[in-house]
Amino acid sequence: MSRYMESVSEQVLVSRSARGDEQAFGVLVERYKGMLYSMSRRLMKDPGRAEDAAQESFIKAWAALPGFKGESKFSSWLYRICYNTCISELRKRKPEVELDEAMGVPVEGPVQEFRNRDIQATIQEEVSKLPDDYRAALTLYHFNGLSYEEIAKLTRKPMGTVKAHIHRARAALKTRLLERVGWDNLKEVMWQ
Amino acid sequence: MNCDEVKRSLQDYVTRELAPEDRRVFDAHLVECGECQRELALMTAVVSTLDHQPVLEPRPGFSEKVMRSLPRQRVFLLSPWWSLVLAPLLAGLVWLFRGQAARVLEAALSRSGLSQVTVPTLSLQQAGIAGLAVVLVGLAVAVGAGAYAWQVYLRD
């Protein structure tokens, strides 16, 4: 890939890709592969399926680019394709579950030794147990940096539902963090 | 603000979505409430972890795999407007080769025993050619409409 192509603005790359320029689209793939793979990995959980979903999203984007009007950001448009791909794949394979059911039974008691990175690992592990809709909303808000309004538009859900999913998911994560780590351990790690 | 109100505003406080006035009341409560300080510390840990999730990279060779999988005729096939060009083109081709088309049609009709059928104002061959042109044009329009529907599905 030439240095010139890497320096070309996103708008130009999108417009050239829409006209069938594979080199320009290759630059977009390079720029967005991390974001799209991270997003699909967080939604799908399984690395292999996540990679397939990310690849399928790029292929769909390439096919649909002539119809991209630029009314939204290219990244938001790409996230929407990725979200639709992941959610339709997830729905093919398992039924939706409620938040309480998905988070499972509370653990016995807090572990003894804990470090700061363990807090992050615990939260990530609990995120992966969230129902698909909650995990998707949380990922789009915190990882992709979308607003409630953008998420509502992208997921075709009312904004109140999106906000409720995010709030309930965070509250569930907070509860599970406390259960698994214990306040004494957390206090020691967070305020050391 | 009491503890219940603080707990309800906790997430908006951490994500800085709380109005400045409410934030001041929230802060005033926090100073004197150990339980709410604990709730805040926990929620801050959750939000901070969620905000700082690392970008994950796919396996090496991912981009090449994507580029190899791209359909080569994308622009032509998925633009709904091409059917507007293709439809008259197909009709023109049918007209251009009407002689050959008529012979093929006649042979097919005589095999099926329908060669005596007549259509008012048009010979059977003319009607057949016109029918073929309509089918081809319809096909072109249908594919164009399908492409348009696909674009609407993915549209920004």
Per the CB < 8 A criterion, the answer to whether A155 and A162 are in contact is yes
Q: How sure is the predictor about A146, in pLDDT bands with cuts at 50, 70 and 90?
A: very high
CB contact under 8 A, A59 and B71: yes
Q: Is pLDDT of A116 > 50?
A: yes
Q: Name the stretches of chain B with pLDDT < 50.
A: 75-76, 119-120, 155-156
CA distance A14 to A29: 11
| ∠ CA A96-A102-A103, rounded to 5° | 160
User: Which one of B15, B46, B75 makes the best mutation probe of the A interface by having the most chain A beta carbons within 10 Å?
Assistant: B46
pLDDT at A26 (0 to 100) = 94
pLDDT at B109 (0 to 100) = 72
Q: Which of residues 59-78 of B touch A (CB under 8 A)?
A: 59, 62-63, 65-67, 69-71, 74-75, 78
The better pLDDT of the pair A105, B69 is held by B69
Average pLDDT, chain A: 84
Q: How far is A115 from chain B (nearest CA, A)?
A: 13
Closest CA relative to residue B73, chosen from A63, A67, A69, A17 = A63
Tell me the per-residue pLDDT of B62-88, one tens digit each, with 9 for 90 and over: 999 999 988 865 544 555 566 667 777
Contacts of B45 (CB under 8 A, 6+ apart): A119, A123, A177, A186, A190
pLDDT at A82 (0 to 100) = 94
Structure tokens at A183: 């306040």
Q: Where are the domains of chain B?
A: 3-51, 73-154
Q: Looking at beta carbons, which residues of chain A come within 8 Å of B78?
A: 63-64, 66-67
Per the CB < 8 A criterion, the answer to whether A172 and A103 are in contact is yes
Question: A1-94, what's its fold?
Answer: Rna Polymerase Sigma Factor; Chain: A (1.10.1740)
pLDDT at A157 (0 to 100) = 93
Structure tokens at B35: 């339980």
Q: Which of residues 42-61 of B touch A (CB under 8 A)?
A: 42-43, 45-47, 49-51, 53-59
Helices (H), chain A: 3-7, 10-18, 22-44, 47-64, 74-93, 99-103, 116-129, 132-138, 148-155, 159-181, 183-190
A30-34, A78-82, B9-13, B133-137: segment of lowest average pLDDT? B133-137
Per the CB < 8 A criterion, the answer to whether A96 and A132 are in contact is yes
B118: left (phi over 0), alpha (psi -120 to 50) or beta: beta
Per the CB < 8 A criterion, the answer to whether B55 and A35 are in contact is yes
Picking from B55, B78, B156, the nearest residue to A71 by CB comes out as B156
The size of chain A, in residues, is 192
What percentage of chain A carries pLDDT values higher than 90?
Answer: 44
CB contact under 8 A, B49 and A120: yes
Q: How many Cβ pairs closer than 8 A exist between chain A and B?
A: 128
Q: Which of residues 146-165 of A touch B (CB under 8 A)?
A: none
User: Which one of A15, A37, A78, A156 makes the best mutation probe of the B interface by having the most chain B beta carbons within 10 Å?
Assistant: A37
Q: Where are the domains of chain A?
A: 1-94, 97-192
What is the residue whose two structure tokens read 């400045």?
B20
Q: Which of residues 35-74 of A touch B (CB under 8 A)?
A: 35, 37-38, 41-42, 50-51, 54-55, 58-72
pLDDT at A78 (0 to 100) = 93
As a whole number of Å, the end-to-end CA separation of chain A is 47
Q: Looking at beta carbons, which residues of chain B come within 8 Å of A159?
A: none
Distance of CA B26 to the CA centre of its chain: 45
Picking from A62, A138, A186, the nearest residue to B50 by CB comes out as A138
Distances (CA, A) of A16 to A11, A13, A65, A74: 9, 5, 10, 13
Question: A97-192, what's its fold?
Answer: Arc Repressor Mutant, subunit A (1.10.10)
